[in-house]
């Protein structure tokens, strides 16, 4: 699995400094939770790692490889957004396997076969409780179900690095608790590097093997949860 290193990363919007990170290391195979108040630069950091945003200066390394100038599709990362952006005219199943089919068509040698794709999709649907919803369209799903489809679509590619931006925001309390457990289990199964952004301290403490606490565009603290927060 790939670790992530940011060095000297700075990002401004106009004259407003959104991110200023001299050094940050995300250990390979960790479940890292980035926590901090709204507007502290969490999403900006995630988007820079994914390649959807360009930093004004600094480097991004994935698994020791400098990807600062690499396009998103060549970074081996998957990003799940708050709004999950499903294709409205495609069924749940097509939404999940679309990128795999596309990759298979583009590159017949390294792409997966039809059989491999359908096995993977079945696995991921079972894992996220989507098996009975496979033929539905996004508009026929609840917000929480859509969020699970967005997650399934990212996971099915087995990305070495999985980036999650407030992925549980639209779930009610009970579903959120279940989804947290599902994500932790998934991380154990895949053994990949997960970075999850949240403003919820409980979420950070209950899920992360590694925490990054941000404030005002800077990393205030980093380390295992038991070191970062002092418990009574
Ligand atoms: P968080 O994810 O922690 O809520 P963001 O990374 O979204 O924080 O934002 C960090 C700061 O950068 C905030 O002050 C926000 O208003 C600003 N910002 C983010 N995106 C843009 C943008 N596209 N244009 C201008 N300012 C932005
Ligand atoms: P691939 O071709 O392997 O599917 P992409 O280049 O499409 O990879 O994108 C990698 C990740 O970034 C995907 O999760 C995709 O949804 C997201 N992404 C790519 N381009 C954009 C964009 N312009 N806006 C938002 N998300 C994007």
Dihedral of alpha carbons 164, 166, 168, 170, sign: negative
Ligand 1 centroid to Cα of residue 178, in Å, is 29
Closest-lying ligand 1 atom to the alpha carbon of residue 46: 6
Nearest residue CA, atom 14 of ligand 1?
Answer: 39
Ligand 2 centroid to Cα of residue 225, in Å, is 31
Q: Which two tokens stand for residue 156?
A: 């099915």
ipTM value of the model? 0.65
Residue bearing tokens 């294709």? 87
Tens-of-pLDDT digits for all 232 residues of the chain? 579 999 999 999 999 999 999 999 999 999 999 999 999 999 999 999 999 999 999 999 999 999 999 998 888 898 887 666 899 999 999 999 998 888 888 777 767 888 999 999 998 898 888 999 999 999 999 888 898 899 889 888 888 899 999 888 877 787 788 788 888 988 998 899 999 999 988 888 889 999 999 999 999 999 999 888 765 4
Ligand approaching nearest to the C-alpha of 76: 2
Percent of residues in the chain assigned helix, strand, coil, to nearest 5: 40, 25, 35
Do the beta carbons of residue 19 and residue 188 sit within 8 Å? Answer: no
Tell me the CA distances in angstroms from 73 to 70, 79, 118, 122, 140, one per residue in order.
Answer: 8, 11, 22, 24, 30
Residue bearing tokens 């895949």? 190
Strand ranges across the sheet with 77-80: 77-80, 161-165, 193-198, 31-35, 210-215, 218-223
Pocket of ligand 1 (CB under 6 A): 13, 18, 36, 38-44
Q: Which two tokens stand for residue 223?
A: 């380390």
Question: pTM here?
Answer: 0.81
Ligand approaching nearest to the C-alpha of 75: 2
d(CA 142, CA 84): 13
Which SS3 state, helix, strand or coil, does residue 197 take? strand
In testing the pocket of ligand 1, which one of 36, 44, 215 has its CB within 8 Å of the most ligand atoms?
A: 44
- b/e per residue 47-84 (b: at least 16 CB within 10 A): bbbbbbeebeebebbbeeeebbeeeeeebbbbbbbbeb
Nearest residue CA, atom 19 of ligand 2?
Answer: 72
Nearest residue CA, atom 4 of ligand 2?
Answer: 99
Nearest residue CA, atom 7 of ligand 2?
Answer: 73
Which of 91, 80, 83 shows the shortest CA–CA distance to 130? 91
């Amino acid at each position: 699995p790939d670790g992530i290193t940011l060095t000297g990363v700075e990002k401004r919007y106009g004259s407003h400094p959104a991110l200023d990170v001299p050094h940050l290391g995300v250990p390979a195979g960790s479940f890292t939770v980035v926590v901090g108040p709204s507007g502290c630069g969490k999403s900006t950091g995630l988007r820079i790692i994914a390649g959807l945003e360009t930093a004004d200066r600094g480097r991004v390394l994935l698994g020791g490889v400098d990807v600062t100038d690499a396009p998103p599709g060549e970074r081996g990362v998957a990003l799940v957004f708050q709004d999950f952006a499903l294709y409205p005219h495609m069924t749940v199943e097509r939404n999940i396997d679309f990128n795999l089919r596309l990759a298979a068509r583009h590159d017949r040698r390294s792409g997966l076969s039809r059989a491999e794709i359908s096995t993977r999709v079945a696995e991921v649907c079972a894992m996220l409780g989507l098996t009975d919803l496979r033929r539905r369209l996004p508009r026929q799903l609840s917000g929480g179900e859509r969020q699970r489809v967005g997650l399934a679509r990212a996971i099915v590619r087995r990305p070495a690095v999985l980036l999650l931006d407030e992925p549980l925001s639209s779930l009610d309390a009970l579903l959120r608790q279940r989804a947290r457990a599902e994500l932790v289990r998934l991380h154990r199964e895949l053994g990949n590097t997960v970075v999850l952004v949240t403003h919820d301290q409980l979420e950070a403490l209950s899920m992360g093997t590694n925490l990054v606490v941000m404030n005002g565009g800077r990393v205030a603290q980093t380390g295992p949860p038991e070191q970062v927060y002092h418990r009574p």
